[in-house]
Amino acid sequence: MNEAYFLDSRLRMEAEGYQLGPDGKPGMIPDPNPDPAKRNPKGLFHRNGGLVAMRRVELAEDNRMFRIASSKDLKWGGLPNLLNSPWWMEEDRMRLLLDRARTAGVRLSEMARRQLALPVAEGWTDADIIVSVHIRRGIVIAAHAGPGRTAAAGDDLRIIAPEAPHLFMDQLYVPGLGKPGGDRAKGMANASAWFDTGTAKSFDPAARGFNPA
């Protein structure tokens, strides 16, 4: 259903963590190399978060999808509004995340920040609500998949070790959700068309049973 979005190079760049401007072009930052002879005078493309080691996966009705979100976004349209994001996990990854939180003895929301590279600072996520939903029957959607990249916001740095991606959590970027081409209304329409909204549920990650006693 979203093949055209999947092939959109701008959305792929967004999935890879490139910071895009209103014109759709990636922003630049100064090259931090201390050696002037090796420093690129034009700077470097600005990347923050996103995915590495990406591959294509196809998702259908037998996939229950999960994402970590901010409950404050409920005020913009209730639970359906939280479905309109490109960032998701499959159920097996959600179970793995929960298992790792219990094993480490840390709260589920904190393990999500560690494993998914989710800074606390505004503009990322409060990580105070879990959303789940099934894909509609007969719908197949493509997604970019892979472990997250290190992300930073303010003084909060969430490091994903590149030498050990198997220790971390696969994430999914579903092109066509969110604000494709800056059009949030289009993303909302796609979320309604691709997800079975009647199966949408939300959970409190601080609830008993999700966290160590």
Per-residue model confidence as pLDDT tens digits over 179-196: 998 899 999 999 999 999
Number of domains composing the chain = 1
Cα gap 160→150, rounded to integer Å: 5
DSSP category for residue 149: P
Flag whether 213 is in a domain.
no
Flag whether 34 is in a domain.
no
Single pTM value for the model: 0.91
Flag whether 43 is in a domain.
no
- Beta strand spans in the chain (E): 28-29, 44-45, 55-59, 64-69, 87-90, 129-135, 141-147, 151-153, 156-158, 170-173, 195-203
Flag whether 154 is in a domain.
yes
Flag whether 106 is in a domain.
yes
Per-residue model confidence as pLDDT tens digits over 27-77: 999 999 999 999 999 999 999 999 987 899 999 998 899 999 999 999 988
Flag whether 44 is in a domain.
no
Q: Is there a contact between 151 and 87 (Cβ–Cβ < 8 Å)? A: no
The boundaries of the domain holding residue 107 are: 3-18+53-203
What's the mean pLDDT when you consider all of the chain? Answer: 91
CA distances from 174 to 33, 59, 116, 166 (A): 34, 10, 16, 21
Q: Is there a contact between 182 and 8 (Cβ–Cβ < 8 Å)? A: no
